[in-house]
Structure 1
């Protein structure tokens, strides 16, 4: 073996300028989406204890936060509503004056063309049992009865001005049902983001606090088994065939293999959701001085992008956009 190797990959790592020039993955502000929570009946924003730095907005603080998101240059915002009252069928989800639809109108007014206004299309925030669909007489989630509610939700959200509907409920046939409802009611321009590979993950814990979830039991009869990889591709393929405009993997970091599989073959944009538990773990470790917070955030989102995500939903979207403008990298 020669003392002086002729192949030296380190040459391209020697300086910051060289590393920037040969970087294979780059983050862009327009590829980030900020999830936001709006709570009915609040006059001030309410901190979410398990997600430091994230709040349930009042309508006033929400308006200011939308303006800030527009100025940051991110691609979009994804809205979640937290109602004061709930019932078995999630009536608030289709109420034109319900918190999510009211917040959507505020966001559309504030954002203009600066970013896309997206809404979560799921019943879990609005039901008194916390499931993503309506229940049958045995207490099981009724897939087809839920689709009827999703159709009505889709029309209500489109009427409020949402540009992308996030179909997160994992009901069979939800893409076809909502696409048909939108087309029949004069909303063919509204895009559908299918949460195609959404896993029954432990990493949603802080989100339950964020939406004041009423869930008892679990969602394993409709969200996917964490051990299943091929099934993620099957779900994405079905959603593409049904008319989805975008497909998504959720959570992101624990499912980079699934994300890469789908990104390798999808003719549609592929997104990923960096969920509440991923956010909370980094924030908690950083608060204890165990990791470098900024580097960990950049590395995590870079890895999701490297695996094939065209867009990342992340609670750090606005902060990341500022770092990108400053030229920071992982």
Structure 2
């Protein structure tokens, strides 16, 4: 001990006494050793790319609240699906922005076999059949009030909504959808959709249930993207989950599994890592998260302003979702991440 080394109090233990030969930092000392012991990895196979659709041709319309994300006409969506195939992204999820003249109280345009979402599915599946297509049978892009269900006397009616969502799911499967992902959170919708798909010859079409979709403040930019911002009458608390409840979320997921769901989704993602972990551990089924528009826009905005390293925050956020138990992630960062991983 030299004069600069403080004396240990009598009876004090050294670091070696405390840890013995176990020094956890040993494997962190070099890039190669950190790679050897890394527990979770993000790959292109984990990515699902949500895209937004609009009518017309040659249209690529920027979404102000989501920098770098666009509303795409069907022909441009096909080009992006081709890009997804080149990057190795397994699947895309499509969300339409329907013209106001086509919206009504019941969202009846969802029952048009040639509506925007079905036309896009047919075109994409024809051009790039190797890319999976996930479609949402919810009514909110088609209603004049912005709700996910049919509105009667100020109430979202469950069973009538389920009947319409089920019919829409069959039409989407007929157009070529590989996975129906109903996001409306109506009771009984998964069982009704499964029965209808099977009865109409679509037994191989899977269902990804938005099993635990929470009433969240993180959906704002999405509503701008699909054109429902400002339309919503009231809120969605009577059918979306209360973000204070985790036991209820697991019960919702269990019920959807019992009705025939093939995959479960937690939405939003990062604020609900505990829900992802519970769903994965307790139900042991393929589990996905939707890194929603608000999560995307916060990272983009903070990165653009230089408040955080946007690229590192993007990758960290996605890896955290993997660590929590996700088998896959719906994220608007998908093409950017795929290009980075490919490079």
Q: TM-score, normalized by length of structure 1?
A: 0.96
- 1:195 is matched with 210
Q: Does 1:210 align with 2:222?
A: no
Match runs of 1:97-112 below 5 Å? 97-112=114-129
1:233 alignment partner, one of 228, 245, 250: 250
Say if 1:168 and 1:194, in contact at 8 Å, map to a contact too.
yes
Deviations 1:281-326 (A, max 9, x none): 0001001100001110000000001000101000011111122234
Q: Structure 1: how far apart are the matches of 2:233 and 2:340?
A: 40
Deviations 1:196-255 (A, max 9, x none): 000000000000001001322210000000100111100000000000000110001001
- 2:6 is matched with none
Match runs of 1:279-318 below 5 Å? 279-318=296-335
How many residues matched? 324
Q: Structure 2: how far apart are the matches of 1:50 and 1:10?
A: 42
Q: 1:3 to 1:160 in 2, by over 3 A?
A: closer
Which structure's CA Rg is the greater one? 2
Q: Does 1:322 align with 2:339?
A: yes
Deviations 1:66-103 (A, max 9, x none): 10011111121001111112111212212111101001
Deviations 1:250-289 (A, max 9, x none): 0010010011000002242011100000000000100110
Say if 2:87 and 2:342, in contact at 8 Å, map to a contact too.
no
Q: Which blocks of at least 5 consecutive residues in structure 2 are unaligned? A: 1-12
- 2:29 is matched with 14
Q: TM-score, normalized by length of structure 2?
A: 0.92
Q: Which blocks of at least 5 consecutive residues in structure 1 are unaligned? A: none
Q: Structure 2: how far apart are the matches of 1:233 and 1:59?
A: 37
Say if 2:303 and 2:310, in contact at 8 Å, map to a contact too.
yes
Q: Structure 1: how far apart are the matches of 2:259 and 2:243?
A: 24
2:86 alignment partner, one of 46, 71, 86: 71
Q: CA deviation at 1:59?
A: 1.8
Say if 1:204 and 1:277, in contact at 8 Å, map to a contact too.
yes
Match runs of 1:46-85 below 5 Å? 46-84=61-99, 85=102
Range that drifts further, 101-110 or 37-46: 37-46
1:265 alignment partner, one of 253, 270, 282: 282
Say if 1:82 and 1:100, in contact at 8 Å, map to a contact too.
no
Q: Structure 2: how far apart are the matches of 1:150 and 1:207?
A: 20
Q: Structure 2: how far apart are the matches of 1:78 and 1:50?
A: 19
Q: CA deviation at 1:121?
A: 1.4
